[in-house]
Each structure stands twice: as structure tokens, then as C-alpha cells.
Amino acid sequence: MSGAYHLTWLSAVAAAGLVAQPSQYPKQAQLPNPYSLIENWPTLPQSMNGGHWGELIRADIDPKGNIWVFHRCFNTEPAGSATCVGRTEPPILEFNPSGKLLTSMGANMFAFPHGFTVDAQGNIWASDANASATVLGKSAKDANGVVRGHQVFKLSPAGKVLMTIGKRGVAGNGPDMFDQPSGVAIAPNGDIFVTDGHGKNDRVVKFSKDGRFIKTWGHHGPGPGEFDQPHDISIGGSQGHVFIADRSNSRVQIFDQDGNFIAAWKQFGRPSAVYVSKDDTLYVSDSTSNSTVNPGYPRGITVGSAKDGSIRAFIPDPDLAQADVNRISGASGIVADAKGTIYAADVGPHKLRKYVLK
């Protein structure tokens, strides 16, 4: 690295509010686990699948402090990508902090629940990443005979559809189309960011708060600003940066809200989920690494700094012993409250985990 380039790089890092990273990081197994699991939380009514979860995909916290969950209609098949096709259960549930169910909604809307967030006004944003006309031999068509999928929905806290982005059942890379949208995040000013990441687009799409297309960035590849299955997205921290779980590139990528590349961090394993809190704590979940896929990184949740990428805590995956057997496990969705309590939506173990600091 030339001296001039090095100074330019340092200036860019400083302007971005980040500091130079250390060259080495401790292994996840060397990190402490200062969290305790709250058992038997939350309480699912017996009327909902006998009180048993299926696959969960995301969780978030609304302005009132209630916890919202996006799950796959209590289904477990196909394993790792369970479907709501043929199910009538509501995939969106709201719980209070004590674990009592408050609200359920979204029945018959989604085929493959995936991206999910709650904005500052309490509205719910959820994506349907389905790309199949039939799943498990059942039609994925809605009541109007159109295949569900490739859309992002905005719902009121009461479940009213306020906005729809994307063309139902139609994959594409145009300004109003997606190919299996995987994640959604809302900026403080209302701008909408979608990771278009489970199909072939491998990009981020930005819209205004009223759904008007603004820009897109990224394409398939391993380089800075390129993606290979961008699986989740979070906007947060003191700088309001965009953090993306670039899963198949085994890294977290960081951008400003105009899509300018800031950094790529590989010390978090193979991230399925990412969340950044207001105090610049970065939570990243690896739910797919094993001895042959990204070896050397155990599945679990790593806690670190959104400013410099340093890592300080690790919560092992609850099914760690099955990492070489199960294609996907652990949390594909994570969120934390102001006290540092972590909520993890598990695909493989079929649980919503709540962790509190010891």
C-alpha cells in the first residue's frame, strides 16, 4: 500500500466514523458468554399448533417495547426454508416483554416469510421470498389465482396493508421488482432499504418513504460493494450506517445510506442476521457455518462494536452439535433492546430465544 493511498484510506475511515481494525481477532470459542437464556419464553397458546413453534425467521421490537415475530406458520418443511403454503396460521405475532401473545396477523398473505422489521411508527414491514409456483405439491397461488412471492409489504400495527412493493409472483431486477427479497430496514427519515438477496440479483434497493424508487447498488461478486446472498440488513448506530449480512461471502458489509462502501468485516463468521443498536453494539448471527462450510467458525451470535468491528462476546448455537447434520440452524433473525436483552428467531431449533445479561 503506497503512502498516499494509505493516508487516503485512513481519511475515509475517519470520515466514516470508524477506526482502523486490529489485524487479529479472538476466535469465537475464546470469547465469554455473559448471557443467560430465559427458559419457556414466550408463551404460545395451545390453540396455536399445540403451543409448539415451527421455523422462525425474524424478530423485532416496536416503539412500545413489544416483541414482534415473523415465523413460517408453525411449519418445519422443507427444512431450513419452511413454507406457509397450505397453512392458515398467522405468521406475524406480537408479544409483550413478559411473553404474553397480544396480536396475530398476516394469515394467507405469505408463502415464504423472510425479511422483517418494525419502523419508528410501529408499522410492520415483511417480505415474501417465495419463488415457486408449487411447494410440497401445493399451489402457492393466492385467492386471486396469482402466485405469492417477490414482494415487500407494509402493515399497520393492526394488520392493515398500507403499501406493497414488487410484483406478486414475478421475479425481476427492475426498479419495481425483486427476486426473492431477503431483508428490509427503514431509515429514521422513512427511506426503505431492501436486500434483494435470495435470488440472482444480489443487490440493495432503496426507496423513499412513499415507495418511490431511488437507487440500487451491488451485484454478484466477492469484491467491495458486491454481494453473494445478502441475507439481512440493519440501519443503526451513531452514524446511521447500513449493515448487511453478506452471508455467502462470509462477511458483514457496511455502507452509508447512499450506498457508498465503508468496510467489510469477516470476523463474524457466515452471517445470517445482523442488528445494530443505538449504542453502536453490533449483533451478528452465524447459522450456517460448519466443518465444511466456512470451517473454523462455530454457529452462534457474536456481539461486538459497530464502530471498529471488535468482538467481545459469543452465544453458542443451541444445536451446535448438529452443525454438520443440519443445513441451517440457530438465529436467522436477532434484535436487542436498550438493556442488551437479545431476542433470537431460530430456524432450526424452532424457538424464540430470549437472552439477558448475567
Q: Which pLDDT tens digit goes with each residue over 115-162? A: 999 999 999 999 999 999 999 999 999 999 999 999 999 999 999 999
pLDDT range class, residue 50, cuts 50, 70, 90: very high
pLDDT range class, residue 217, cuts 50, 70, 90: very high
pLDDT range class, residue 21, cuts 50, 70, 90: low
Domains, the chain, ranges and CATH?
30-357 (2.120.10.30)
Q: Which pLDDT tens digit goes with each residue over 252-292? A: 999 999 999 999 999 999 999 999 999 999 999 999 999 99
Query: How far, in Å, CA of 213 to CA of 225, rounded?
Result: 20
Fill in the amino acid letter for 154: K
pLDDT at 18 over 80: no
- Confidence at residue 22, expressed as pLDDT on a 0 to 100 scale: 55
Average pLDDT score over the chain: 93
Q: Of 232 and 17, which is predicted with more confidence?
A: 232
pLDDT at 8 over 90: no
